[in-house]
């Protein structure tokens, strides 16, 4: 009789532990999914912030090399305004 009760108690304990582990795994999975979504959306926001960033950088490089002695206000700002430069940062 005592052995039977001990076995039942052990089975209940094992099921409880299994359920807790399953619950923990589910929570960890949800946390990973949420954090992955946040990272992807943050990257997408950063990319969308300045459309044509590579073209903008090429234009700045060309303008800077064409007039290397010129002032930034005279050389760079006509190619990319101050607002686009701030957004690119």
Nearest-angstrom CA–CA distance, 30 and 64: 49
Nearest-angstrom CA–CA distance, 39 and 45: 10
For 46-88, what is each residue's pLDDT tens digit?
766 667 778 888 888 888 888 878 887 788 888 887 777 777 7
The pLDDT, as a whole number, for residue 26 is 96
Q: What is the model's pTM?
A: 0.47
The contacts of residue 71 (CB under 8 Å, 6+ apart) are none
The DSSP symbol for 63 reads H
Nearest-angstrom CA–CA distance, 79 and 84: 10
The pLDDT, as a whole number, for residue 34 is 93
Q: Is the pLDDT of residue 21 over 90?
A: yes
């Amino acid at each position: 009789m005592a052995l039977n009760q001990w076995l039942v108690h052990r089975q209940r304990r094992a099921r409880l532990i299994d359920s807790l582990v399953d619950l923990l795994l589910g929570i960890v999975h949800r946390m990973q999914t949420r954090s992955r979504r946040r990272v992807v959306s943050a990257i997408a926001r950063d990319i969308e912030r300045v459309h044509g960033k590579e073209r903008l950088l090429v234009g700045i490089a060309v303008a800077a090399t064409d007039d290397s002695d010129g002032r930034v206000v005279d050389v760079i700002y006509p190619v990319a305004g101050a607002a686009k430069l701030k957004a690119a940062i």
